[in-house]
Amino acid sequence: MKSTTLRRSNITREKVAMMEALERYNREHMDEDFYRRQSKSKELDLLLQNFGVRQQKTEKAPQVYFVVGLIAGVIITLLITTFVSILINISTPKEDAVPKVKPAAQENAKFRFIPADTSKSSSASTVIKEEYTVKSGDTLESIVIRFYGSFDMDKVNLIQEANKMANPNALSIGQKLIIPINK
């Protein structure tokens, strides 16, 4: 190593020499360990062959597990969907089981449609006019809701016409309004 590199890395020359010696030792003895391991594994292989023991197979690749899991998932999904569809078919009534009801017109051939009298309906809808005094906080919309039950713009227009109002927002406290109610 260069001396400038040593100064920058704060490693002393003794440490560098020790690391180089350790590296040389490892290179020399690594070859010996390799041959020792090889010879032991060969001896074990011979012993296992003599006793008739076969070596264990290596572990399967992850792709095999993926494919097996995928196939199992598809099969389980198909089983669940068929089970659910069977349950739905059992629980829903068939059209044949429900008796069909014949309309009244088909059962009775003498059925006739009689239109309602228009003259009676006009006299039946009499218009009653109530008088209401406007109080503080009242609006035309709140009055419509109070008398008719729900807001309807047609009812607002009826009240405006009955009271000859130009502006529906121009209500004054104490003003008397005529509210037309159909019965």
Whole-angstrom Cα distance, residue 137 to residue 151?
A: 17
Q: What is the mean pLDDT of the chain?
A: 76
CB neighbour list of residue 127: distance below 8 Å, 6 or more residues apart: 180, 181, 182, 183
CB neighbour list of residue 158: distance below 8 Å, 6 or more residues apart: 180
User: DSSP labels for 21-69?
Assistant: HHHHHHHHHHHHHHHHHHHHHHHHHHHHHHHTPPPPPPPPPHHHHHHHH
Gyration radius of the chain over CA positions:
51
Tokens of residue 153, six digits: 């713009």
pLDDT, one tens digit per residue, over 141-179 is 888 888 888 888 888 888 899 898 888 788 889 989 998
Whole-prediction pTM? 0.33
Contacts for 33-38: CB closer than 8 Å, 24+ residues apart: none
pLDDT, one tens digit per residue, over 40-86 is 666 667 666 666 655 566 677 888 899 999 999 999 999 999 999 99
Whole-angstrom Cα distance, residue 168 to residue 126?
A: 25
CB neighbour list of residue 145: distance below 8 Å, 6 or more residues apart: 151
